[in-house]
Amino acid sequence: VKAGAQIKYSAVDTLGAKSHAYIKRYAQTARDAKIDWAIGELNDGNVILDLDTYLNGDGSESQVQIVGISTGKQIQGIDSKVVNRGNHSVGNILQHGVILDRATLTFNGIGLIEKYAKGADAQQESRVLMLSEKARGDANPILLIEEFEVTAGHAASVGQVDEEQLYYLMSRGLSREAAEYLVVRGFLGPVIVQMPSAEIRRQLVEIIDRKLSGLEGSQED
């Protein structure tokens, strides 16, 4: 991304159940440039995504927003890396994922502030919600700091759906399926609403609704 330029990159990946894919996305920024990523990993097959952003220029910036859903027996791994090289560069990673059935989803958030990147800021949040006891999820926040005068932070969580929250919704007349659907939509909502493209938001909601349709029936024994 050239000096002073701005790019908003949006994509929704929906590879089929027989897919075994490695996806690589990469960007580097010059002075005062900005790139925002809005990605939906809503595949049915086994997928690894590597998303790398190098903030080379002073004052450059990147916002990374990712939503992922794993179902059936699929395995997905999402590695998001932002490298701060420029002074006062800013990198933020926000990724939320949901796992059903026997599926696996792993988030690796990597923030690297290199030496001499004074005033740089690296933040990340990775959260995984599991709707099955046989689901496997992981969220690994990795911060590598080589400079003193910087700001950095991370948050990560992996957990089962809150039964008390479901009980509350069901006590209001909702089925368990409908309650789980609302919990999932609420969990993914903070990421979806921040995505800059209205068309991408529409696609995400449409595909998420399809993947979550019949939640109770989709859970494997």
Model pLDDT for residues 116-166, shown as the tens digit of each residue: 999 999 999 999 999 999 999 999 999 999 999 999 999 999 999 999 999
C-beta of residue 156 within 8 angstroms of C-beta of residue 187: no
Listed in sequence order, the DSSP H helices in the chain are 163-170, 176-192, 198-212, 215-218
Instruction: Name the residue with tokens 């494997």.
Output: 220
Up-side HSE of residue 136: CA atoms within 13 Å toward CB? 10
Q: What residue numbers bound the domain in which 62 lies? A: 6-218
Is residue 186 one of the residues assigned to a domain? yes
Is residue 10 one of the residues assigned to a domain? yes
Is residue 1 one of the residues assigned to a domain? no
pLDDT at 218 over 70: no
pLDDT at 200 over 70: yes
Is residue 141 one of the residues assigned to a domain? yes
Distance CA 1, CA 60 (A): 10
Residue 16, beta-bridge partner list: none
- Predicted confidence at residue 219, as pLDDT, reads 45
pLDDT at 221 over 60: no
Distance CA 92, CA 20 (A): 29
Give the mean model confidence (pLDDT) for residues 11-36.
Answer: 97
- Predicted confidence at residue 154, as pLDDT, reads 97
Reported as a single tens digit per residue, the pLDDT across 164-183 is 999 999 999 999 888 999 99
What angle is formed at CA 12 by the lines to CA 9 and CA 96, rounded to 5 degrees? 90
Is residue 64 one of the residues assigned to a domain? yes
Structure tokens at 126: 């990775």
Q: How many domains does the chain have?
A: 1
pLDDT, the chain, mean: 94
C-beta of residue 89 within 8 angstroms of C-beta of residue 55: yes
Is residue 80 one of the residues assigned to a domain? yes
- Predicted confidence at residue 212, as pLDDT, reads 83
